[in-house]
């Protein structure tokens, strides 16, 4: 059974595990906790059989939202969970008066780009050599 709920401090260790296994430049536990404790933080986790299998975290300022983090455990991918998380984040942004949501994604992460595109995001810019290994970032936006 799936359960989508707000991200809690007790989820940080599991979120950190997924983060470490999903990215070549993962956020540290300290960075995750710092984001979580931000006043403008919006975050959700997706549980399957009471185990966190995915998460999304971001924030909002005035009428803009930004996705900072999103990942699904490798064993739970290709089930639409990423799309569920992104859509819940967007829905929640509406509660704060957000009109545009932004995110950045590695150019090579075609699976994530396809997910974001299916959620209504469009490419608006690129940041050359944005990531530590020199890969470019694609900047995407969704107007809501």
Kindly name the residue from 48, 104, 135, 141 that is annotated as catalytic.
Answer: 104
Cα–Cα dist 77/122, whole Å: 22
Is 104 labeled as catalytic in the residue annotation? yes
CA 104 vs. chain centroid, Å, equals 10
Q: Which of 46, 123, 25, 124 is nearest to 89 (CA)?
A: 46
Pair 66, 103: CB distance under 8 Å: yes
Q: Which residues are annotated as catalytic?
A: 104, 116
């Amino acid at each position: 059974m799936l359960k989508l709920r707000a991200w809690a401090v007790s989820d940080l260790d599991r979120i950190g595990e997924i983060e470490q296994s999903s990215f070549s430049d993962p956020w540290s536990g300290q960075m995750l906790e710092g984001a979580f404790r931000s006043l403008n933080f919006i975050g959700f986790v997706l549980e399957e059989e009471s185990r966190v299998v995915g998460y999304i975290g971001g924030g909002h300022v005035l009428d803009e939202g930004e996705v900072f983090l999103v990942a699904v455990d490798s064993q739970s991918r290709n089930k639409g969970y990423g799309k569920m998380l992104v859509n819940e984040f967007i829905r929640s942004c509406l509660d704060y008066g957000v009109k545009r949501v932004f995110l950045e994604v590695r150019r090579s992460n075609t699976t994530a780009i396809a997910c974001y595109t299916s959620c209504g995001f469009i490419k608006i810019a690129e940041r050359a050599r944005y990531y530590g290994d020199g890969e470019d970032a694609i900047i995407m936006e969704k107007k809501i």
